[in-house]
Amino acid sequence: MTWNLADLFETVVDVIGDREAVVVPNAPDGRRVFTFSDLEDRVNRLAHTLADGGVGPGDKVGIYGHNTNEWVEGQWAAWKLRAVPVNVNYRYVEGELRYLLDNADAVALVHAAEFSPRIAAVREDLPALRQCIAFDDGTGTDISVCDATDYESALRAASPRRDFGPRSDDDLYMLYTGGTTGMPKGVMWRQDDFFKATVGPMLTVLEPPIERPEELAERAPDRAAMVGLPLAPLMHGAAQWSSIQYALGGHRMVLSAARHMDPAAVWQIVADEGVQVVNLVGDAQARPLIEALETIKDQIDLSGMFLISSGGAILSPAVKASFAELLPNVILVDALGASETGFQGSNSGTDEQGRPQFSFGDHTIVIDDEGHPTTPGDGVVGRLARRGHIPLGYYKDDAKTAETFPTINGERWVVPGDMAITEADGTITLLGRGSVSINSGGEKIFPEEVESVLKGHPDVFDVVVVGVKDERWGERVTAVVKPRGDARPSAEELAEFCRGKIAGYKAPRGVVFVDEMVRSPSGKADYRWAKGIANS
């Protein structure tokens, strides 16, 4: 047996088919509940539908929607065909959507009905995109505008049989990430490496490591089933990895199909569904949840909760303190990982400056500028690096692959750009990204992309975009602007100007005016200077 994700999923289904797998309490048509056998049936039908449309091994299938059972079904259906599911950011406007689907060479798209007009606007530019399958999201949007097939009708007409060909450890898992170079990049993993670097360690935090693929199904019947709620969008790695963990662990996953997070509604779902584990992304989600909980804590029963895990962004000490006060029996964990590294480790506290410290295995170290491991306790600031089970590289980007996945002393590493220090006790203190990318609510934003749009504003002569610390979002996008003449465009005006050109979360939330812009002799922006101005 292989470490192939679809193979592993099928072995788990075969031993715990009657367990509940996915619950969507606020679906458009009411509460949905699917057992593992139900999920397998629907996934097989969708896989046959995709195959009938020409999808085969190695083909890319976009998954485009909010958190619903169809999102989960789409990724498992693709893997059953040895195809590659591609996460599509539902915030993208037409230009961004066109770029992603073209870059990924997507041949099929499983999507929410509401996005049909947006798909229609770009489909003529995507000759490889042969098949669109739209699921009902309650919006009543006409799916014929993009020539889409109705999801449920297609499933009813398709075979539920598990009659797919053999699969391989080398089948791809791919995750598109914004990274630090502006446009998204597809991080390619062998499924063997992805399981061993990410899903396996997440599954066995409290268990012995899994040595054989067969062990996953052997352990499933005796493993106490948890109830987990991934709050982040499944289009992001943090939630997607949790969804895979829950499926392969035989756990019950609750999904909120809401388009926008209503904190009080989230807590009601936690109480009603008996959620034990909540997976979220940093303060952007945690702070509103705390504010709501302070108001309703005496009205709901959260006694079943035991863990809140933050992935993709680290919880601030203030947020952790508030959670500890309101939910004293709940464990708080920061899980560190990236699209390029997989799951790396869990938080072991903070240093005296409040900077997060992590405990890793021997796969992760801090290296200096020459690629040599730093000495614990020497105070040398270096770059976090991981070896062993790591990705193959970036899809169709050899130059960036060579930069991020260097070979050092004959061994291949991934060095994604996190700056860190190794402490004397072996823990690693994170200092932040060494690049200029902005992390706002778990979303990575590349300043030059925003700058290129803002420079088209009639009142903007020059602009540099930086991230300013924000209690809720982690960082707030701020434009340092040299205006034309006496003009003083507001942040709201600049954000409105960006509307339709880039996703809304990339637009500036603040603006600072300067008389002169500081740049290098070659014309490059001085981001350190701009950040200092924005914070002054």
Q: Please report the pLDDT score of residue 35 as a whole number.
A: 98
The pairing of beta strand 438-440 with beta strand 443-445: antiparallel
The amino acid that residue 224 corresponds to is A
The pairing of beta strand 393-394 with beta strand 407-408: unpaired
Q: Is the pLDDT at 511 greater than 90, yes or no?
A: yes
What is the number of helices (H) and of strands (E) in the chain?
Answer: 17, 28
The end-to-end CA distance of the chain, in Å, is 59
Q: What distances in angstroms separate CA 68 from CA 109, 133, 235, 257, one per listed residue?
A: 15, 15, 11, 5
Q: What would you report as the CA-atom Rg of the chain, rounded to the nearest whole angstrom?
A: 23
Residue range 401-406: mean pLDDT, rounded:
95
Q: Please report the pLDDT score of residue 181 as a whole number.
A: 44
Query: By mean pLDDT, which of 80-89, 217-226, 268-277 is the weakest?
Result: 217-226
Burial label for 268, CB within 10 Å (0-12, 13-18, 19+), is middle
Q: Is the pLDDT at 355 greater than 90, yes or no?
A: no
Q: Please report the pLDDT score of residue 525 as a whole number.
A: 74
CB-based contact 98:51 (threshold 8 Å):
no
Residue range 201-216: mean pLDDT, rounded:
90
Q: How confident is the model at residue 179 (pLDDT cuts 50, 70, 90)?
A: very low
Q: Please report the pLDDT score of residue 250 as a whole number.
A: 96
Q: Is the pLDDT at 467 greater than 70, yes or no?
A: yes
* Tokens coding 85: 């599911």
Q: What distances in angstroms separate CA 255 from CA 20, 23, 82, 244, 471, one per listed residue?
A: 13, 6, 26, 13, 26
Q: Please report the pLDDT score of residue 521 as a whole number.
A: 43
Q: Please report the pLDDT score of residue 180 as a whole number.
A: 40
Query: d(Cα 475, Cα 346) in Å, to the nearest integer?
Result: 22
CB-based contact 231:256 (threshold 8 Å):
yes
Give the bridge partners for 335, in sequence order: 311, 346
Short-list 407, 452, 414, 415, CA closest to 433: 415
Q: All domains of the chain, ordered by start, with CATH?
A: 5-260 (3.40.50.12780), 341-433 (2.30.38.10), 438-535 (3.30.300.30)
Short-list 60, 116, 108, 65, CA closest to 83: 60
Q: Which of 7-21, 337-351, 436-450 has the highest mean pLDDT?
A: 7-21
**Where is 468: in which H helix or E strand?**
strand 460-470
Collapse the DSSP code of 263 into the 3-class scheme (helix H, G, I; strand E, B; otherwise coil) and give the result: helix
Residue range 351-375: mean pLDDT, rounded:
80
Q: Is the pLDDT at 435 greater than 70, yes or no?
A: no
For 341-450, list the strands marked E by DSSP.
Answer: 342-350, 356-360, 364-367, 382-387, 393-394, 407-408, 411-414, 418-422, 428-433, 438-440, 443-445
For 178-272, list the strands marked E by DSSP.
Answer: 185-190, 227-230, 252-254
Query: d(Cα 271, Cα 276) in Å, to the nearest integer?
Result: 9
Max Cα-Cα span within the chain? 72
CB-based contact 113:139 (threshold 8 Å):
yes
Higher pLDDT, 519 or 456: 456
Mean of pLDDT over the chain = 91
**What 8-state DSSP symbol labels residue 504?**
G
Q: Is the pLDDT at 86 greater than 50, yes or no?
A: yes
CB-based contact 174:188 (threshold 8 Å):
yes
Query: d(Cα 295, Cα 291) in Å, to the nearest integer?
Result: 7
The pairing of beta strand 227-230 with beta strand 252-254: parallel
Q: Is the pLDDT at 518 greater than 90, yes or no?
A: no
Query: d(Cα 76, Cα 5) in Å, to the nearest integer?
Result: 8
The amino acid that residue 98 corresponds to is R
Q: How many residues does the chain have?
A: 536
Angle, alpha carbons 127-129-131 (nearest 5°): 135
Query: By mean pLDDT, which of 24-38, 205-219, 286-300, 438-452 is the weakest?
Result: 438-452
Residue 96's CB is within 10 A of a number of other CB atoms, namely 20
